Amino acid sequence: MSSSASRPLITGEASPEDLPPAAGGRPPGRFDRLRRHRRWWLALVVVALLAGMAVAMITAAVEQTPTIDEPVYVGTAVVYLEQHGLRYNPEHPPLGKLVMATGLAFADARLDPAFVGDQTQLGRHVLYESGNDPGRLMLLARLPMIVLTLLFGLVVFVFARDLVGPVGGVAALALYAFSPDVIAHGSLATLDVPVAGFLLTSVWLLWRARRRPALYLPLAGLALGAALATKMNALAAVPVLLLLVVPSVRHARRTRDPDPNRTARSARLLGLGAAAVAVALIAVAVVWASYLAVDPRLRWETPRDLPPAQGLRALVAWLPFPEPYGDGMRVQLGFEDRVWGGFLFGRHYHGSMWYYLPVALLVKTPLGALALWLSGAVVMVAVPRLRPAAPYVLVPAVVLLAAAMTGDRDLGVRYAVFAPMFLAVAAAGVVALRWRWAHVTAAVLVVFAAVSSLRTFPYYLPYSNEAFGGPAKTHLHLHDSNVDWGQDLGRLADRLRQRYPGERIWLVYKGSGLPSHYGIDAADPLDASPDQVRGLLVVSDSAIAKADDRLTALIDGSTPIDEVGHSITIHRRP
């Protein structure tokens, strides 16, 4: 036997049985059948993970009443459909709301053409004052976002598979599919998951452009444009993604021509710059198209109360986007000028803390996922064959997190929901280790994360991991969209009807829902003298976190007797 026949195969080398049949056509061998079966099993696992995620998201979408931001987006989407106007919600570009409109187009929603009011009043008007069914409207607006979230799961799987193979792809998809934050916000008619998913898609396409730039660079530009046309925080990633065009194109050209002459090198430098410019132009075109899809005549009147564009803010006018985009950015900058309230580990404060988001992610991420995120990031930097992918996977995530940490609104990990997406891909790097127990360890950690996620079903918004007491204790550490975003008003109505019929109810609700629509007949305890507040005192946990002296006194004089959805506490006052 020759030495070549006796030596073991190295990773990536094909055995004779793995080669395609000869021209004469030998019958399929055992390894061909194994490969086919493996593909079927892989497809079944992917479908099962996405189906389980879909069940979790649809259940949450059906059971949850409108969160604080959703009525604004839904009302604006209805205006897009009925009036083709851009005047509402200018601080966010149209694409995400156009996606919601694809579901709302089946709702036959009614909107008074004579309505006059701000965007908050518009949301209440569309949901509760126009004869529409708010539950049906919300579900139809949320379903397209659920579909998008599932499609981004496929991107996570394929990206990780491209890097480390199908096992890594399944591990990454499992972390994504069981991420409580992705499930929670992917099931809502909001913009945080779509913008993060479009950015991830753009990065994945840039990675693929290392082999076929002519095909994937334009697609990357489309995905980047979709992110910019969904939410303006995507602007922070633009310089990084345009810079990533350079190594992608350089790798592709080096593969075709490993030793160019000097003239060719000069041409290549020009080509690199042209490729980045082309991607940027495609992204800009997508933003323009999203506005023109709403109003082809681009009618727009600048709001009178916009903050002045002074200093660096004057650069907004130089952005190559439609005028409403620039004015929307000025609205966002005005939000940053306000002083917002935050809550972290029992402390209510005004302003922001730079470390808020990393700490909130530590609380709200399954421990198994945290371990794999960190391990995968280290492996991606340390293992030579994965190192080229580190700038694509890790650098955008770091830049986006750094940009989010500079914001003045400590309102939830939704501002960092890109982390479970990008870091799920990074975590797949663990399976690339040539360590005997690497796959087993990764599998155990994935199962640990999955079990933690399943235990919180269907209450994903208030999730926190076991180290911080689980979802029942989240309100002691965080507030707002981390735990109580107004989502449990319908569940509260059911609980009061089933367990406390006929009792006097005093309600402090933080949300956009209309309690009376759900059959809750309640009074505001802050409008009455304390001695009149007798019976059930029902308080949203976010209101408890930021309670003033008067509400604190009412709560201290009460006994907690029940909780709803880990976000609303029911007290009894004698």
**Residue 193 or 318, more confident:** 193
Q: What is the mean pLDDT of residues 451-462?
A: 97
Element (H, E) at 506: strand 505-508
Amino acid at 321: F
Q: Which of 437, 455, 473 is the last residue of a domain?
A: 455
Q: What is the mean pLDDT of residues 215-228?
A: 98
Q: Tell me, yes or no, whether 61 lies in a domain.
A: no
Question: For residue 276, is pLDDT > 60?
Answer: yes
pLDDT of 334 reads 85
What are the CB-based long-range contacts (under 8 Å, 24+) for 496-502?
496/520, 496/536, 496/538, 499/562, 500/536, 500/570
Same structural domain, 445 and 492: no
Same structural domain, 237 and 334: yes
Same structural domain, 212 and 351: yes
Q: What is the pLDDT of residues 171-209, one digit of tens each?
A: 999 999 999 999 999 999 999 999 999 999 999 999 999
pLDDT of 298 reads 93
Determine the 3-state secondary structure of 564 from DSSP.
strand
Same structural domain, 204 and 350: yes
Query: Percent of the chain beyond pLDDT 90?
Result: 81
Give pTM, 2 decimals.
0.91
- Domain count across the chain: 2
Same structural domain, 543 and 417: no
Same structural domain, 500 and 441: no
Same structural domain, 495 and 395: no
pLDDT of 35 reads 66
Its domain, for residue 289, covers 143-296+308-455
Question: For residue 28, is pLDDT > 60?
Answer: no
Q: What is the pLDDT of residues 416-432, one digit of tens each?
A: 999 999 999 999 999 98
Same structural domain, 428 and 493: no
Question: What is the rounded average pLDDT for all residues in the chain?
Answer: 90
Q: Which of 439, 455, 471 is the last residue of a domain?
A: 455
Same structural domain, 549 and 434: no
Question: For residue 513, is pLDDT > 80?
Answer: yes
Q: Which of 436, 455, 474 is the last residue of a domain?
A: 455
Q: What is the mean pLDDT of residues 91-107?
A: 96
Q: What is the pLDDT of residues 223-256, one digit of tens each?
A: 999 999 999 999 999 999 999 999 999 998 887 7
Same structural domain, 391 and 511: no
Distance CA 534, CA 295 (A): 53
Q: What is the pLDDT of residues 113-134, one digit of tens each?
A: 889 899 999 999 999 999 999 9
Distance CA 167, CA 189 (A): 32
Q: What is the pLDDT of residues 251-268, one digit of tens each?
A: 988 877 665 665 555 556
